[in-house]
Structure formats: structure tokens, C-alpha cells
Chains A and B, each alone.
Chain A
Amino acid sequence: DGGITQSPKYLFRKEGQNVTLSCEQNLNHDAMYWYRQDPGQGLRLIYYSQIVNDFQKGDIAEGYSVSREKKESFPLTVTSAQKNPTAFYLCASRDRGWTEAFFGQGTRLTVV
């Protein structure tokens, strides 16, 4: 089945540690996205990538980093510089810049 896989579903991190969230898609989509969602709020864009080896900052990129070495993969690293990392993280992909985006099932990150 084609789709977007995010792993893990739940992640716990100690303060001061970096952690990497995985996002893989087998839809052959060019563009990939990372969003953050806090309770009762909408999606805020962290980073997006239109093509391999290229990515752009979204609205809340501080404290996060990404890479796009392969078309199917777009991992997100939450660094220790992110002051409030506890949130629900969603990855998405789309074929072109004007088509609908498809989402993974999310990773819930909790800092303990």
C-alpha cells in the first residue's frame, strides 16, 4: 500500500537531548512537509522540501533541523534548542505544489 509512515508513534525525550522523527513515503511525491500541532490548535509549518537536497524554513523552524537526501525520506530533528518541544508532529507529502497533501499518522513527542 502506498502511503506515508511516521515513526515512532510515541516518543519520550529528556530535556537537553536531541531526537529524530522519521518520515518515509512511497508515493513518489516530490514535496514533503513537517508540521507541529499543539492541543486545540491548527498546524504550524516547521520545514518543507520541494525537491531532494533542498528545503525551506517554515514559520517555526527555530530549534529544528531537517535533511532531504532521498526523495522518499524527510527526517526531522528536534534539537535541545527547541524550548517547548512537547507536541504532535505531522509529516505530509504531495506530488506537485498545487495538489493535495497526504499526511502520516503523526508522532507524539513528550519531554520528560
Chain B
Amino acid sequence: EDQVTQSPEALRLQEGESSSLNCSYTVSGLRGLFWYRQDPGKGPEFLFTLYSAGEEKEKERLKATLTKKESFLHITAPKPEDSATYLCAVQVPNDYKLSFGAGTTVTVRA
């Protein structure tokens, strides 16, 4: 069975303290890996798509990377507005099924 595991479950950071979130997967033949940000009571907001090992994407203070077994979301010099739950999802070939991990809740203190 395909599995998506995110760690840690929660992360408390001081403003400016860089850190990384992990998304590991056991899907057979990854077709794409997606990162989302979710604020409380809202729908997830798309951040990045990664398709192949070695690929990297950046947006402001966020950078996503992908290996054959896992993806990292690096948060550089975070600000309080980066506080949210970050979700990753994986896509397998020949199927439209999109499976999510449980998420990492990031809290950035000023």
C-alpha cells in the first residue's frame, strides 16, 4: 500500500530560525509530489510540484527538494506569517488518485 509520512508533526520556530520539513513516500513509480500550505479553517493552497529526483523549486522563503524516497521543504528565515500546516501529496502513474500525508504544523514566534 502506498504510504506518505510527514515529520515532524509539529514545529515551533523562532522568527529567523531556518528549518526543514520531511515528506517520505513508498509509492511505486512516483508521478509527482505536491506541497500545499493550509491555514486553519481554509482549503489547502498549492505551493510546489516536483516530478523527478534532484528537482528543486523555490518561492520566497520556501524551497522544496526531491529525492527517490523523500522530499524536503526548507523554510529559510521564517516569519510569523509562515505559520501554517504544510501538507505533501503524491501521485502514482496510471491513476488520478492523490494521497496526502498528515501534515506538519509550523508555528513561528516573533
Contacts and interface: CB of A to CB of B under 8 A. Distances in A.
Interface of A: 4, 6, 31, 33, 35, 40-45, 48, 50, 56, 58-59, 88, 90, 92, 94, 97-106, 108
A105 B97 contact: no
A89 B89 CA distance: 17
A101 B103 contact: no
Interface in B20-44: 31-32, 34, 36, 41-44
B96 A102 contact: no
Given A90-B44, A98-B31, A41 B102 contact: yes
A104 B43 contact: yes
Interface string B4-17: 00100000000000
Interface residues of B, number: 26
B72 interface: no
Contacts, number: 66
Interface of B: 6, 31-32, 34, 36, 41-46, 49, 51, 87, 89, 91, 95-103, 105
A100 B34 contact: yes
Q: Which of B6, B95, B97, B101 has the most CB of A within 10 A?
A: B97
